[in-house]
């Protein structure tokens, strides 16, 4: 028997996103030099910024910086369409995947609506749902031993009452993708249930922020399930988080439902120029993927040698299990004293006993492994 999903009334005020301490806060609180603070909490990919710097130095943008960006971001849309294998009218540009998620909320979650969130997952699905005055139905995923996969029967059941299903594959923070065929089967079931009950199938927002790391996307499922919206970003595998560029990919009629909520010119002209080039030049992406995979294996092995229980990962981050929230908290504190910022989870979170760590470059990862060894041996920083 699958557990019954937990439905929460939307609180007032809604749940907010919480950040780890800023670099300056860490430096002041722990007495470390500001340039020694390293962020392992944000799932970014440090990479040589050569391409971006060259384009910014050239400054040959589509429009002068004194003007607004072109309203249709045409060259960026064409580059993204070619990269993702879709038509330009199946794409919408936003200021990062986060703006796209927000637009999905605005388009499909009126006050009083219900959104299903398989947990644990990216915190913004709950935040956005509650900001719309809609209700979250949280469906626990299967556990670590089952690869944190979706509980398919429970998810399917919960979605009967829902307007939106938020999916994330590979999933943040569990670092694994849904097993092949799972999302396909779920979408078929949702379409069949809706047909039997004579209602419109729910919108399925499938966040593929980390898709490049597994080398496959489920974007083709939009033909089978027209209410599918796939979310992509330049922040992770393209290593361009600071530029804030993300995309919705969906059938034209679904894009047309989201587009009215798009603000004018939220993506800056330099961001448009750099991401257009990055999407068109696969060597940048390929280099990052090779580097992340190599460093991920090295970092995971080093942390395991230091006694950490690190789960498998197909992404650019690792999830480590410390058994108790108290031990996770002590380890986080030990890392912070050394200027290393992990992603922590609140005491009432199902992952309170875990820390999430970004795979960074060799030097940063070596510092993390050394810190893990020192903490295990009780050596002071
Ligand atoms: C699953 C997921 N979706 C979206 C985002 C936000 O991406 P962006 O930088 O494109 O807004 C993140 C960032 O951590 C994420 O983990």
Supply the range of the domain harboring residue 269.
63-280
For 124-151, the pLDDT digits (tens) are 999 999 999 999 999 999 999 999 999 9
Please check the confidence at residue 50 and state whether its pLDDT lies above 90: no
Residue 141: φ, ψ to 5°: -70, 165
Instruction: Judge whether residue 8 has pLDDT over 70.
Output: no
Choose which residue among 235, 242, 278 to substitute to test ligand 1 binding: the one with the highest number of ligand atoms within 8 A of its C-beta.
Answer: 235
Tell me the CA–centroid distance for residue 209 and ligand 1, in Å. Answer: 6
Residue closest by Cα to atom 4 of ligand 1: 97
The pLDDT confidence band at residue 3, using thresholds 50, 70 and 90, is: low
Residue 2 covered by a domain: no
Q: Is 246 in the pocket of ligand 1 (CB under 6 A)?
A: yes
Q: pLDDT band at 14, cuts 50/70/90? A: confident
pTM of model > 0.85:
yes
Going from the Cα of 99 to the center of ligand 1, the distance in angstroms, rounded, reads 10
pLDDT at 1 over 70: no
Residues 74 and 176 in one domain: yes
Contact 251, 226 (CB under 8 A): yes
Q: Which helix (H) or strand (E) holds 270?
A: helix 269-280
Residue 2: its pLDDT value, please?
Answer: 53
Which residue's CA is minimally distant from atom 7 of ligand 1?
97
CA torsion sign, 292 to 293 to 298 to 302? Answer: positive
91 and 131 housed in the same domain: yes
Q: How far is CA 378 from CA 339, 340, 372, 373, in A?
A: 17, 17, 10, 9
How does residue 351 score in pLDDT terms, banded at 50, 70 and 90?
A: very high
pLDDT tens digits along 220-250:
999 999 999 999 999 999 999 999 999 999 9
Residue 11 has a pLDDT of: 73
Indicate whether 232 belongs to any domain: yes
Does 297 share its domain with 233? Answer: no
pLDDT digits (tens, 9 = 90+) for 71-124: 999 999 999 999 999 999 999 999 999 999 999 999 999 999 999 999 999 999
How wide is the angle at C-alpha 46 spanned by C-alphas 45 and 49, nearest 5°?
115
Residue 148's alpha-carbon distances to 87, 214, 220, in angstroms, are: 33, 16, 24
pLDDT for res 221? 98
Q: Is 223 part of a structural domain of the chain?
A: yes
Q: Which atom of ligand 1 is nearest to the CA of 101?
A: 4
Rounded to the nearest integer, the mean pLDDT of the chain is 95
Ligand 1 within 6 A of 365 CB?
Answer: no
Ligand 1 and 317: CB distance under 6 A: no
Task: Give 116: exposed, middle or buried? Use CB within 10 Å, 0-12, 13-18, 19+.
Answer: buried
Q: Are residues 224 and 117 in the same domain?
A: yes
Same-domain check for residues 153 and 120: yes
Statement to judge: residues 117 and 90 lie in one domain: yes
- pLDDT attached to residue 157: 97
Q: Can you read off the two tokens belonging to residue 100? A: 């796209």
Q: Which residue's CA lies nearest to atom 3 of ligand 1? A: 209
pLDDT exceeding 90 applies to what percent of the chain? 90
């Amino acid at each position: 028997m699958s557990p019954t999903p937990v439905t929460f009334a939307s609180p007032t005020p809604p749940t907010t996103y919480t950040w780890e301490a800023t670099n300056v806060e860490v430096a002041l609180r722990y007495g470390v030099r500001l340039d020694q603070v390293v962020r392992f909490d944000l799932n970014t990919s440090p990479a040589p910024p050569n391409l971006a710097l060259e384009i910014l130095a050239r400054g040959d943008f589509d429009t002068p910086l004194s003007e607004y960006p072109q309203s249709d971001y045409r060259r960026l849309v064409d580059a993204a369409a070619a990269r993702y294998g879709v038509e330009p009218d199946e794409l919408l540009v936003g200021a990062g995947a986060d703006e796209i998620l927000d637009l999905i909320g605005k388009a499909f979650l009126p006050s009083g609506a219900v959104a299903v969130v398989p947990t644990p997952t990216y915190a913004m699905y709950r935040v956005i749902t509650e900001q719309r005055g809609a209700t979250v139905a949280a469906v626990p995923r299967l556990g670590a031993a089952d690869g944190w996969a979706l509980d398919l029967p429970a998810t399917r059941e919960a979605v009967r009452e829902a307007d939106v299903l938020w999916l994330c594959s590979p999933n943040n923070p569990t670092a694994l993708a849904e097993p092949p065929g799972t999302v396909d089967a779920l979408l078929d079931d949702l379409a069949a249930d809706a047909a039997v009950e004579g209602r419109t199938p729910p919108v399925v927002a499938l966040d593929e922020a980390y898709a490049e790391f597994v080398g496959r996307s489920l974007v083709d499922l939009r033909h089978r399930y027209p209410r599918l919206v796939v979310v992509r970003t330049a922040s992770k595998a393209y290593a361009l988080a600071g530029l804030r560029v993300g995309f919705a990919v969906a059938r034209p009629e679904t894009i047309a439902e989201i587009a009215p909520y798009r603000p004018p010119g939220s993506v800056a002209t330099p961001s448009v120029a750099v991401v257009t080039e990055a999407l068109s030049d696969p060597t940048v992406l390929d280099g990052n993927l090779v580097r992340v995979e190599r460093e991920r294996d090295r970092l995971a092995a080093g942390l395991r040698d230091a006694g950490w229980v690190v789960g498998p990962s197909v992404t650019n981050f690792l999830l480590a299990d410390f058994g108790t929230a108290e031990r996770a908290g002590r380890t986080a504190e030990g890392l912070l004293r050394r200027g290393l910022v992990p992603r922590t989870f609140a005491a009432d979170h199902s992952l309170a006993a875990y820390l999430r760590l970004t795979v960074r470059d060799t030097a940063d990862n070596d510092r993390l492994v050394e810190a893990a060894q020192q903490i295990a041996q009780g050596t002071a920083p």
